[in-house]
Amino acid sequence: MQENLKNRKSKKRGLDEMSPREIVEELDRYVIGQKAAKKSVAIALRNRIRRQKLDEEMAEEVAPKNIIMIGPTGVGKTEIARRLARLANSPFLKVEATKFTEIGYVGRDVESMVRDLVEIAVDMVRMAKIAEIEEKAEQNAEERLLDMLLATMQNVPGEQSRLQDGKDLTKIEKMREKLRKQLRSGMLDKKLVEMEIREHSSPISLQFFEGSSLEELQYSMRDLLSGLTENKAKRRRMPVDEAADYIMQEEEQKLVDMDQVARIALERVEQSGIIFLDEIDKIAGRESGHGPDVSREGVQRDILPIIEGTNVNTRYGMLRTDHILFIAAGAFHVSKPTDLIPELQGRFPIRVEMNSLDENDFVRILQEPKNALIKQYAALLGTEGIKLRFADDAIREISRIACQVNESSENIGARRLHTIVEALLDDISFEGRQRKNKNVKITAAYVRQKVGRIASDKDLSRYIL
């Protein structure tokens, strides 16, 4: 009873129970600062939970409050959206707005982002279903392997006579249980068995001419061609442990209903899908005239119906985009959000200004997050017996140099920390397990020695840091 209570307490709270304040606290574990942005996305996420509790008629009318994050690179725009999707266990896709072109031009059409999101959702649901039936699949795979092993033993003259003597089923069952114990202990892993191998693929889409784009047609044609060769099987001899993996995959495919997976995935995308549209400032602008700028407004007009809500034809069926949450982000150095076409601006009612990061923020980024950069490097080098520690003054010095280089060259935000720490630990990482002194403490003096000169030389830092 006490163990059950402990397990209940240790379980993570579900998103349904989390308030916007608690969602922000969860995001604080990974992203430093940017309170306004966290607050906006937390409210947007909580509103989705609230919408699910409404009656069907009212829920249909509640549209997602799409968000534009405005700020320089490296301040946490993408990380906030990514952590939000993991927290919600929602299908999440990050795409670059610059990949898309107008219909009729070479490039990806805007509907491909929705189709990609559906593929991600199908994988998520399929993996969840596999986890549910994993135990049953393991049992079935084990029985099939035992059948194969018994068949090989019956081909051995001595064993054959022993098993068939008087057709004693009890002896066969005892032999089966003996093999089961050996199989589970790993004693039979290298024993060779012969089995049929088939190429498996996704179900064939017969309506491939209905694809609205070349990309959709390519998907369907690939399924069709792979389906033509699906029935061709070949016999192979392989070790038992390798055969177990093949059989396990076959059993999983038999037990998972892919039609049900597709239905659940489509519903999950429609109700809780999140698309992060990065670099949206690169398609902003309504300049008239000739040249590449002509297509910018065209791309915006193509994206508009997806955000407004439309039906998109995917390989798993039609999907409505009315309730997909769109989070757009851009630096807007050259253009402004008002350079977007008015219809698109109206579909992003929430605008959040992201703050630039200063030296104190960099210190916190290196120390506080669960996935902090220095914790990652300490774990990596720890696999080779090196105990890496950073003194407080070293962390402060790294942060100071990062700010200095950002000010003297391009400001790439927290990404500058990656380049500096990589240059700092270059020699230690190279030596690895061959290093004699396994206890390494990084001090401010060591930081200045390794990267201080490079940072002070503007021309040199431009190429190295």
pLDDT at 376: 92
pLDDT at 83: 85
Average pLDDT over residues 102-119: 75
Average pLDDT over residues 211-226: 56
Kindly state the percentage of the chain with pLDDT values over 70: 78
Average pLDDT, the chain: 80
pLDDT at 460: 54
pLDDT at 6: 41
pLDDT at 370: 85
Higher-scoring residue by pLDDT: 201, 377: 377
* 248-264 tens-digit pLDDT: 888 888 888 899 999 99
Q: Are strands 233-239 and 192-198 parallel, antiparallel or unpaired?
A: antiparallel
pLDDT at 365: 92
CA angle 392, 396, 402 (to 5 degrees): 145
Lowest mean pLDDT among 122-131, 143-152, 411-420: 143-152
pLDDT at 167: 52
pLDDT at 81: 80
pLDDT at 184: 82
395: pLDDT strictly greater than 90: yes
pLDDT at 295: 66
Lowest mean pLDDT among 115-119, 201-205, 366-370: 201-205
Higher-scoring residue by pLDDT: 42, 464: 42
Average pLDDT over residues 11-20: 67
pLDDT at 41: 87
Domains and CATH numbers, the chain: 2-120+266-353 (3.40.50.300), 129-265 (no CATH), 359-464 (1.10.8.60)
Higher-scoring residue by pLDDT: 39, 293: 39
* 415-451 tens-digit pLDDT: 889 989 998 998 898 988 888 888 999 999 999 888 8
90: pLDDT strictly greater than 80: yes
- pTM as predicted: 0.75
12: pLDDT strictly greater than 60: no
In angstroms, the CA 224 to CA 318 distance is 19
pLDDT at 442: 92
Average pLDDT over residues 314-328: 91
176: pLDDT strictly greater than 90: no
97: pLDDT strictly greater than 70: yes
pLDDT at 226: 55
* Range 143-177 burial, b when 16+ CB lie within 10 A, else e: ebbbebbeeebbeeeeeeeebeeeeeeeebeebee
284: pLDDT strictly greater than 90: no
Lowest mean pLDDT among 4-13, 62-71, 179-188, 246-255: 4-13
361: pLDDT strictly greater than 60: yes
pLDDT at 155: 54
- Would you place residue 223 in the very low, low, confident or very high pLDDT band (cuts 50, 70, 90)? low
205: pLDDT strictly greater than 80: no
Integer angstrom CA distances of residue 93 from 115, 169, 301: 10, 56, 21
In angstroms, the CA 219 to CA 457 distance is 51
217: pLDDT strictly greater than 80: no
- Would you place residue 267 in the very low, low, confident or very high pLDDT band (cuts 50, 70, 90)? very high
347: pLDDT strictly greater than 50: yes
